[in-house]
Copies of this chain bind each other. A is one copy, B any other.
Amino acid sequence: MARWQPDAPRRLAASALDLFEENGYENTTVIEIAERAGLTKSTFFRHFPDKREVLFGGGTVAGLLTEGIASAPPAAGPLDAVADALDALGRTFFTADRRAFSRRRQAVLNAHTELREREALKRIDLTASMIEALDRRGVPSLSARVAAQLGTLVWELAFDRWIDIDNSEDFGPLARQALAEVRATGAARQ
């Protein structure tokens, strides 16, 4: 019964999203999510502290972003290091097979204040992860914070376009394009 389920978090997230769409976030219980995924309530709680967390699959994204920044070429400037990390994220996480899920997930998040709050804090934590990773590259503290703020904006622009139903471009190129736009507008005129 309690055997190891390596794909449990993903299955639980998929079931949760189905149920939130069908019955609403408020009307869905953890037990229903677990049952729909063919798992138990205790398996759910091994992976997530509560229902609110089920659509925020752990630290995967923060880890990928941190690694991506760390492995950027030594000569890369802070915002280029962030762009490299977004590229890496596009290759390994925001992949084509996750696009439909991400779109549906975002619609559910946008519709619920308590999920928007959780997302907002996750975003701040991600920005903090970027700043730390840039610090470890020796980027001065304030430059790191500026790059992380602009990197977060690049992420948002790229993500919004990536989940847009009319878009078929991959996440990495969308991030590169958004970065170029932000640079063209922001850097010179502020």
**A182 surroundings in chain B (CB, below 8 A):** 142, 146
Decide: B77 and A185 in contact? CB cutoff 8 A: no
- A103-133 interface mask toward B, CB cutoff 8 Å, 1 = contact, 0 = none? 0000000000100111011011000000000
Task: Please tell me the number of chain A residues within 8 Å of chain B, measured between CB atoms.
Answer: 31
Question: What is the distance, in angstroms, from A188's C-beta to the closest C-beta of chain B?
Answer: 7
Interface residues of A in 123-149 (CB under 8 A from B): 123-124, 140, 142-143, 145-147, 149
Q: How many Å lie between the Cα of A120 and that of B181 in the bound state?
A: 26
**A118 surroundings in chain B (CB, below 8 A):** 117
A186 within 8 Å of B by Cβ? Answer: yes
**A190's contact among B79, B121, B152, by CB below 8 Å, is which?**
B79
Q: How many Å lie between the Cα of A157 and that of B141 in the bound state?
A: 12
A68 within 8 Å of B by Cβ? Answer: no
